[in-house]
Structure 1
C-alpha cells in the first residue's frame, strides 16, 4: 500500500471514531464540530460519568452502613500512581476522610491546593454552609463542581490554602462534616 492510501485509511478511521464519539456524547458537551471540541466534550462527559459513579457508590455505601454515633476523621492511605512516569512512590497526596450516615467528606492535599469532595443527599443551603466554613478557615475557592443524581449530590472543590490557615486535613474534613449538622460548631472555636 502506498503512503497516500495508508494516510487516507487512517483519516477515514479517525473520522469514523469521532462520529461514534459524537453520537455517544450528549450534544450540550460538544460546542462545535471540530475534532478538538468533540474530544474535549467527550472528556468532560466521561469526567461527569465518573463523578456520578462515585455518587452512586457512596450512596450504596451509606445505605449499607449502620448509623454511627458521629463522624470521625481518618487519614487517607497514599494511593499508588501506576501510570506515573516517575514510579509508584513519586507522588503522594496527603489527606483525610470523614464519613457519617449523612455525608462522606474527603480532603486531599495536592501541591499548594486542597481537593475537597463531599457526597451526601441533597440538603437545601448546604453549599452555602460549606463555603462559609472554608472562608472562615482562610481557604480561597478556586473551582467548584456540582454533580447530582436523584437525591444525591457531589460537591468537588479545589481550594487554595490561605496564609492564615493553620489546620490539618483531618480538622478540615471534620469541620466540613460538621457543617452537615443543623448547628455548625467549629473545632477552632472550641480550642
Structure 2
C-alpha cells in the first residue's frame, strides 16, 4: 500500500471515530463541530461522569457502613397539601404542592407529588452544575430516583425525581432556595 492510501485510510478511520464520539457526547458539551471541540467536549463529559460515579460510590459506601435507620413517624416535609387534582375518574387522589425560585442565573421549580419531589432547573450550561445540585440533594437527605438532562444550544434543563428522606424537614420553598444557591457557588463578579 502506498503512503497516500495508508494516510487516507487513517483519516477515514479518525473521522468515523470522531462521529461516534460526537454522537455519544451530549450536544451542550460540544461548542463547535471541529475535532478539538469534539475531543475537548468528550473529555469534559467523561470527567463529569467520573465525578457522578465517585459521588454514587461514596454514597453506596456510606449506606453499607451505617446501620439503616428505623423510619420515624415525623412528617416528611412540612407543608399543607393543595386540593386534589380534579379528575373524577381518578380513584387515587394525588396531592401536590409546588414552589418556584427564579433568578437571572437559573429557574428552579420544586413540586411535591406523593412521597416524591419533582425538581426542575433551567439555566445556561454551567460545567459541573449537576454535581453541585446532587451534592445539595444528598446533604438535604434526598434520594435521587431519576435524572434527565435535556439541552438546546447553551441552555440545559435538569429534571430530577427525588424521594423524600425520613430526616428531611424542609419546605418546598426552602428546597428550591437551596438548589438555587448551588448556582451561585464559585461565581465571581
TM-score (norm 1): 0.51
Q: Deviations over 1:8-58 (max 9, x none)?
A: xxxxxxxxxxxxxxxxxxxxxxxxxxxxxxxxxxxxxxxxxxxxxxxxxxx
| C-alpha distance 81-141 of structure 1, shift in aligned 2 (>3 A) | same
Gaps of 5+ in 2: 1-78
> How far apart in 2 are the matches of 1:79 and 1:98?
22
In the alignment, which of 107, 123, 126 is matched to residue 126 of structure 2?
Answer: 123
In the alignment, which of 158, 169, 184 is matched to residue 181 of structure 1?
Answer: 184
Partner-residue secondary structure (3-state), 1:130? helix
Gaps of 5+ in 1: 1-74, 185-191
CA-based RMSD of the aligned residues comes to 2.5
Q: Deviation of residue 150 (structure 1)?
A: 0.2
| C-alpha distance 106-84 of structure 1, shift in aligned 2 (>3 A) | farther
Q: Deviation of residue 95 (structure 1)?
A: 1.3
Query: Runs of 4+ in structure 1 displaced over 6 angstroms?
Result: none
| C-alpha distance 84-128 of structure 1, shift in aligned 2 (>3 A) | farther
TM-score (norm 2): 0.51
Instruction: Count residues with an aligned counterpart.
Output: 107
Q: Deviation of residue 163 (structure 1)?
A: 0.8
| C-alpha distance 116-79 of structure 1, shift in aligned 2 (>3 A) | farther
Q: Deviation of residue 92 (structure 1)?
A: 3.7
Q: Deviation of residue 182 (structure 1)?
A: 2.1
